[in-house]
Chains A and B, each alone.
Chain A
C-alpha cells in the first residue's frame, strides 16, 4: 500500500450480469455498471446519485468487495482488488466498511448491541474478550449511545438509534472508507438530521472518507464534496458539489435537480434557465412547472442505443441516438453529453 495512492481508484469499472431470457434465447446481459471511473481521497465524501436501477448499489457492492467486477480496475489504497487473492482481500476488507439502508433489517434481532459491535473484531482481529468489550464501549460513546445500551437488543431502539448502532459497527475496524447506501432514507426528517450530524462529526474526528449513496439531493448537497451522477450504469456527470448544484451541465442532472421538491421554489433558479418555464395558470402560482423529463428509466436489459438518456432528454438530436457520448472535462466537471458545450 503506497502512501501517495488515492484511497479508492476505479478505472473503466464494469459489472455485467448474465440474465436468462428463456430456454431458447441467448442469455441477455445487464450492464449494471458500465465503464465507471473515479477517484476518492482520504477524508473526502463522494456522493453517488441517480434513480433506482442506475447502478448505485452495484457500485457499493464492488467497492466493498462483496462482488468482483467483471472488467476494469479497482484499487483500494493502491492495491488492485480485481486480481487480488483471498488473503489480500481479507487484508483489504477492514479498510472498507458499509452502512446499510434499513437499520430495521441490517441488525440481527437475536444479538445484543455489544455482541453486534464486537463481532467484526472477533472475526478480523485477535483481540481478547476484554479488549473487544472496551473497544465496543468506546465506540458506543463516540456515536452517542449510552453505556447501558450495551446489553440491549436492536428492537429496543428507535430507527435513529439503530442507525447509530449500524454506524458504530461499521467503524469498529477503523476503516478508512465507509460506504453508506441510502443510510437516511428509512428515517424521519428530524432523525435524519441527527444521523447526518453524526456522520459529519465522525468524519471530522476520525478522518474517514464516505462513499455516500443517496437519491436525496438535498442531503447530498449538505454532505458531499464530490458528486457523481449515474444513469443506467454510466456516469453522466461528475464534479465538485458546488459546480454540480450551481451549474449542472448534463440534462439529466438538471432534470434531477428540477424534480426535487423544494421548500422555497425560488431556489430552483439555479437548476438551469433553459428549463425554467413560467407556471401556466394563475391558480397554481405556488407551484413551478416541474416536469422536465417524461417517461421512466428504460429497462437495463434493453438499454437504448447511443446516449442512454436520449429517450427522455428534452434536447435530443440525431447524433444522440447513434453515438455514445464519452465523459469529457467541461469547466470544473466531467460530463457525458454531445451537446454539453452548446447548451452551457
Chain B
C-alpha cells in the first residue's frame, strides 16, 4: 500500500460561481522511502497541491478530494485536532525562503524545541533538557558547524544556507515518514544548493522517509528524483521515471520545457521558446489546457479535454502522446497553422 494516496484533489479559491481552480483533479501516489520530483512553471499548482496535503489551505480556499489518505488514514475524515497531531510530525514540509519561514523573534533553539514540545516523544515533551539535547543532535545531523553556538542564534544571524539547514532540522525533528520540500534550494547559491540537496537525500535514505521535491528546475529533479510528476495549470500532464521521461517525453509540454533549456540547445543560436503563458483565472481554455501554447494542437485538442492515461507509472494527458522520437501519435495530422499563429507573441 502506498504511503500517500491522493485521488482527484481539487483546490479552488474565490467565489463559488467563478472559482479560480488552482488544483484541478490531481492524482498522486507516493511509496514509503521514495523520492519523487514535481515540476512545472509558476501557477501550475505545485505548491497548492502540497499545502492541500498538509491541510494548510485557509478558509476562502476549498479543498475536495475523492481520496486523501496518508499511511492508511483518511485525512479528510480527521478533525482539526487529530490532523494537527499528524501534520508536522509524520508529514513535514520545508519552504522556499528559509529566512521568511523562521520566526525572526525567537532563537534557533526555541523554534527547534517548539516542534519537539508539540510533537516529540513523551520524554521530550516532559523535559526541557531532553529537548535541548535533541535540538543539538539535530543541528549536528544537518551538518551545521559549531552547533552549540548556533542554538542561541536568531534567524537574521544565519546565512540562507544555514537557515535552510535549520528548517530541515525542524522538519526531521519528529522523524517524518513524508517530507515535502517546496523549492528548497531556489533562494540559495549554486554551491550551497548542491550541499542542501545532498543533505536532503542523505537524510532521506538514512531515515527511509519519502521525499516530495517540488521545483521548477528540471535539472534538479533529473539529479535527485526517481520519478517525476509534471504539472501544468493545476493538472498532472505526465508522470514517469527519471531519466526516461527526460529522454523521451510523451507530453508536448514536457518536450517543450526541455527544449527551452539552454542545456539542450548547446549548438543553436536560438532557444525553442514556448509562446504565451500559463492560463490564469479568466483565460482557462476549453479542451486541453495546453492547446493555445502547444505546437501540435488540433481541432480535437480545442474541443475535448484529454484524460491522464497509460500504464501505471508512465501516464500522459494528451490525445496525441509523443512517441520515442518525439512525434505525435494517435492519427495526428498537421493542420493549417493559422489557428496557433495568433498566440505567438
* A interface with B by C-beta (< 8 Å): 51-52, 144-146, 158, 160, 188-194, 196-197, 200, 215, 217-219, 221-222, 255-256, 258-265, 267, 283-284, 286-288, 290-297
10 shortest interchain CB distances as A-B pairs? A261-B219, A190-B274, A222-B262, A193-B273, A193-B271, A259-B194, A193-B260, A51-B189, A194-B273, A188-B41
Which of A219, A255, A262 contacts B223 (CB under 8 A)? A262
> Any chain A CB within 8 A of the CB of B192?
yes
Q: For residue B98, give the distance in angstroms from its CB to the closest CB of chain A.
A: 13
Q: For residue B208, give the distance in angstroms from its CB to the closest CB of chain A.
A: 12
Contacting residues, chain B, for A297 (C-beta < 8 A): 159, 189
Determine whether the beta carbon of A222 is less than 8 Å from that of B271: yes
Contacting residues, chain A, for B222 (C-beta < 8 A): 261-265, 286
Which chain B residues (140-159) contact chain A, with CB distance < 8 Å?
Answer: 145, 159
Contact A284:B262 (CB < 8 A) given known A158-B277, A296-B159? no
Contacting residues, chain B, for A192 (C-beta < 8 A): 260
Residue among B190, B198, B216 with the highest chain A CB neighbour number at 10 A: B190
Determine whether the beta carbon of B190 is less than 8 Å from that of A263: no
Contact A284:B201 (CB < 8 A) given known A188-B216, A190-B256, A222-B271? yes
Contact A190:B257 (CB < 8 A) given known A196-B271, A255-B191, A286-B242? yes
Contacting residues, chain A, for B325 (C-beta < 8 A): none
Contacting residues, chain A, for B242 (C-beta < 8 A): 286
Contact A189:B161 (CB < 8 A) given known A259-B191, A267-B263, A283-B205? no
Extra contacts, 16 of them, besides A260-B190, A286-B226 (Cβ < 8 A), are A145-B345, A188-B41, A190-B273, A191-B41, A194-B274, A215-B189, A218-B263, A219-B262, A261-B219, A261-B223, A263-B258, A286-B222, A291-B195, A296-B159, A296-B192, A297-B189
Which chain B residues (254-287) contact chain A, with CB distance < 8 Å?
Answer: 256-258, 260-266, 269-275, 277-278
Can you list 14 A-B pairs, Cβ within 8 angstroms, ordered by A? A188-B278, A189-B218, A190-B41, A191-B273, A193-B273, A197-B270, A261-B193, A261-B222, A262-B263, A263-B246, A264-B243, A267-B263, A287-B201, A291-B198
- Measured in the bound complex, the distance between the Cα atoms of B257 and A263 in whole Å is 12
Determine whether the beta carbon of A200 is less than 8 Å from that of B223: no
- Give the interface size class of chain B: 35 or more
Contact A189:B216 (CB < 8 A) given known A217-B190, A283-B205, A290-B197? yes
Q: For residue B298, give the distance in angstroms from its CB to the closest CB of chain A.
A: 21
Q: For residue B255, give the distance in angstroms from its CB to the closest CB of chain A.
A: 12
Contact A256:B345 (CB < 8 A) given known A264-B263, A284-B205, A286-B226? no
Contacting residues, chain B, for A146 (C-beta < 8 A): 345
Contact A193:B223 (CB < 8 A) given known A256-B191, A297-B189? no
Determine whether the beta carbon of B42 is less than 8 Å from that of A188: yes
Determine whether the beta carbon of A189 is less than 8 Å from that of B41: yes
- Measured in the bound complex, the distance between the Cα atoms of B273 and A197 in whole Å is 8
Determine whether the beta carbon of B345 is less than 8 Å from that of A144: yes
- Measured in the bound complex, the distance between the Cα atoms of B161 and A222 in whole Å is 28
- Measured in the bound complex, the distance between the Cα atoms of B197 and A287 in whole Å is 11
Contacting residues, chain A, for B260 (C-beta < 8 A): 189-190, 192-193
Q: For residue A27, give the distance in angstroms from its CB to the closest CB of chain B.
A: 21
Of all chain B residues, the one with the shortest Cβ separation from A287 is B223
Contact A52:B216 (CB < 8 A) given known A191-B277, A283-B205? no
Q: For residue A216, give the distance in angstroms from its CB to the closest CB of chain B.
A: 8
Contacting residues, chain A, for B197 (C-beta < 8 A): 261, 290
Q: For residue B142, give the distance in angstroms from its CB to the closest CB of chain A.
A: 14
- Measured in the bound complex, the distance between the Cα atoms of B264 and A221 in whole Å is 11
- Measured in the bound complex, the distance between the Cα atoms of B195 and A52 in whole Å is 16
Contacting residues, chain B, for A256 (C-beta < 8 A): 190-191
- Measured in the bound complex, the distance between the Cα atoms of B193 and A283 in whole Å is 22
Contact A291:B189 (CB < 8 A) given known A263-B258, A265-B222, A267-B263? no
Which of A200, A262, A290 contacts B270 (CB under 8 A)? A200
Determine whether the beta carbon of B190 is less than 8 Å from that of A286: no
Contacting residues, chain A, for B218 (C-beta < 8 A): 189, 263
- Measured in the bound complex, the distance between the Cα atoms of B269 and A332 in whole Å is 23
